[in-house]
Chains A and B, each alone.
Chain A
Amino acid sequence: DSGVTQTPKHLITATGQRVTLRCSPRSGDLSVYWYQQSLDQGLQFLIQYYNGEERAKGNILERFSAQQFPDLHSELNLSSLELGDSALYFCASSVQGLTNTDTQYFGPGTRLTVL
């Protein structure tokens, strides 16, 4: 158990819908990362927040958005969903969010299925 929690575990929805994925970091960690993992794309970095502020942005679509709240939990919002958005979405946290030194602790993931 990494100490990172993600809800829900599974999500099934239809194309065109909007969903929200939630992540609670480990106690004491200030940074949260979001990743998408599909069979053909591997583990893709989406976005990182540090203490409520956006720190880095990867290949995140404009239909996707995220935020980190004052209590440090984070939400990833996915809208106008397409079939290709079906994937595992992971959240990770780290103490400071320095990519080249911080260990990232990953949550169990949310499996999103878009029908």
Chain B
Amino acid sequence: LAKTTQPISMDSYEGQEVNITCSHNNIATNDYITWYQQFPSQGPRFIIQGYKTKVTNEVASLFIPADRKSSTLSLPRVSLSDTAVYYCLVGDGGSYIPTFGRGTSLIVHP
């Protein structure tokens, strides 16, 4: 069962780039890496997904090194509205148990 490790919290300021790294040392060959964002009292929302190298969409970029044992979510030029909890979700190698972990609480300051 792939387990993920993320920093518990991070602080940033408006306009800065934020990078949140997730460790998943036991990731399986067929596992994808997915990131979700959650605002207080709301359900998590999909941000981005990748398998290897780099993926970019209109919201974020996801960097995955060749060994795939970690991944980094990059949020360009954050604003106050990016204050949320960010979860890294890794496939479980086939057992279908989604493990979100505690996530990273990002606070963006003015």
Q: Given the complex of chains A and B, what is the CA–CA distance between A99 and B100 in angstroms?
A: 11
Report whether over half of chain B's contact residues are helix, strand or loop; otherwise say mixed.
loop
Taking CB atoms, residues of chain A closer than 8 Å to B99 are 45
Stretch at the interface among B40-48, B54-62, B72-80: B40-48
Contact A92 B43 (CB under 8 A): yes
Taking CB atoms, residues of chain B closer than 8 Å to A52 are none
Contact B91 A99 (CB under 8 A): yes
Using C-beta atoms within 8 Å of the partner chain, give the interface range for chain A.
20 to 34
Most buried by B among A35, A48, A58, A101: A101
Contact B101 A42 (CB under 8 A): yes
Contact A43 B87 (CB under 8 A): yes
Is B92 an interface residue, CB under 8 A from the partner? yes
Interface residues of B in 52-110 (CB under 8 A from A): 87, 90-103
